[in-house]
Structure 1
């Protein structure tokens, strides 16, 4: 089985550090940036910048800079017209030497809400409009496995539309909704999200609205390390299909991709 994401939804795997890459379509409220990485034992510092252009000299809307210097801290700042503004120092360190991490940057109306390993860490208030952000820069003592922009703005010509023509961002879970027009050949549904620490299983069902039969049941079981697929007709489950779940998945109408 294979699944190819539409343009603008492709995560970046194993980028070379230092890294400088575009955020296609820029940022808007409700979007998030998800990073997986690891910290070396010999770390001194690293940084993540959200840039207002695609060059290192661009204004910096968010400068996130963990420093392991004996007085461990994370420094937040911004830079405009080549001039650094006032630092915000958080004297707490959410990262550990020699350990992997998951980090999420959520764009809110107030600022950039930073969470590390499932724990909210700090919100950096906007100093430069987030609509100006066009790229991300990462450098220093860090290894990055995945960069994933969730809720990305797609070009109008990309051909992708969400439920009823518009994407749905950050819906409450459990979630239930109609699929306008139903399913048909080559229709694709994109689901992006983050699996929190301690999660046991996830369930995604494509249901027949009148009978409540389940045409497609997708059930990643995180602790068991498997993905179960099934259907239920007339209240009776069919025979399960099982695959090994290695670390993450992407789902579309054509199938499941495990990486």
Structure 2
């Protein structure tokens, strides 16, 4: 996926929230939001896919290797629309609030206590990004 935004030196700790508003391209196939300590160490890979049966795939990456996927059938995204995604970093889980106010949870498998890396990739344009510390 093409990189849209990549931030290093993020200081996201347990209890913090990141709010991301994106515009999904009209012909979008997929996009992702990643949180971790670098691109090869991801505690959260949040990946809505239009091209794979309209599913959200969440995963983590350790030592450059993908772990077991978690697939979510809820899919409140539409191509050509703005969406807001809020990710709250709890000690044992990421709470992901979607644009329709539904909430997904994904475990913090790597037990990271600080996120220093954030990226947005794929067929979206970032309109705003806000950290609530």
Unaligned runs of 5+ in 1: 1-16, 152-259
Tell me the equivalent position of 1:249. none
Instruction: Give the structure-1-normalised TM-score.
Output: 0.48
RCO higher in 1 or 2 (8 Å CA, sep ≥ 6)? 2
Q: C-alpha deviations, 1:217-242, integer Å up to 9, x for none?
A: xxxxxxxxxxxxxxxxxxxxxxxxxx
Tell me the equivalent position of 1:76. 58
Work out whether residues 22 and 126 of structure 2, in 8 Å CA contact, stay in contact via their aligned partners in 1: yes
Tell me the equivalent position of 2:104. 122
Are residues 86 and 97 of structure 1, via their aligned partners in 2, closer, same or farther at CA, if it must alter by over 3 Å? same
Tell me the equivalent position of 1:112. 94
Runs of 4+ in 1 over 6 A off after TM superposition: none
Tell me the equivalent position of 2:33. 48
> How far apart, in 2, do the equivalents of 1:123 and 1:117 lie?
15
Tell me the equivalent position of 1:27. 12
Deviation at 1:132, TM superposition (A): 4.0
Work out whether residues 94 and 121 of structure 1, in 8 Å CA contact, stay in contact via their aligned partners in 2: no
After superposition, the CA RMSD in angstroms is 1.6
Task: Work out which of the two has the higher radius of gyration on C-alpha atoms and give 1 or 2.
Answer: 1
Q: How many residues align?
A: 131
Instruction: Give the structure-2-normalised TM-score.
Output: 0.90
Unaligned runs of 5+ in 2: none
